[in-house]
Amino acid sequence: MSYQGQTGYLATITSTEENSFISTNIASASNIWIGATDDLVEGAWKWDTSGGSPRSGQTILDGNKFRNLHP
């Protein structure tokens, strides 16, 4: 994956601990990019790298509300 010539990877949150760490350390950020997508089915979120679903009940940064943000 690349953006404006810079290569990298989007975060895939795999545990409650990772989610808590990320949530705590980016609390003041306005836009956060993680590797979840609902491109195939609107509202059916999958991790882009593994195709797996985010864990049931997992709060992903915005009160369990995923938002579509694209560059």
Walk along the chain (71 residues) in steps of 10 and give the mean pLDDT of each run.
Answer: 76 78 77 75 73 54 51 48
pLDDT recorded at residue 14: 77
Query: How far is the C-alpha of 23 from the C-alpha of 5, rounded, in Å?
Result: 28
pLDDT recorded at residue 63: 45
Query: How far is the C-alpha of 10 from the C-alpha of 13, rounded, in Å?
Result: 10
pLDDT recorded at residue 61: 46
pLDDT recorded at residue 33: 74
* Radius of gyration of the chain, Cα coordinates, nearest whole angstrom: 12
pLDDT recorded at residue 55: 55
pLDDT recorded at residue 1: 63
- Residue 46 phi/psi, 5° resolution? -135, 150
Instruction: Tell me the one-letter amino acid at 1.
Output: M
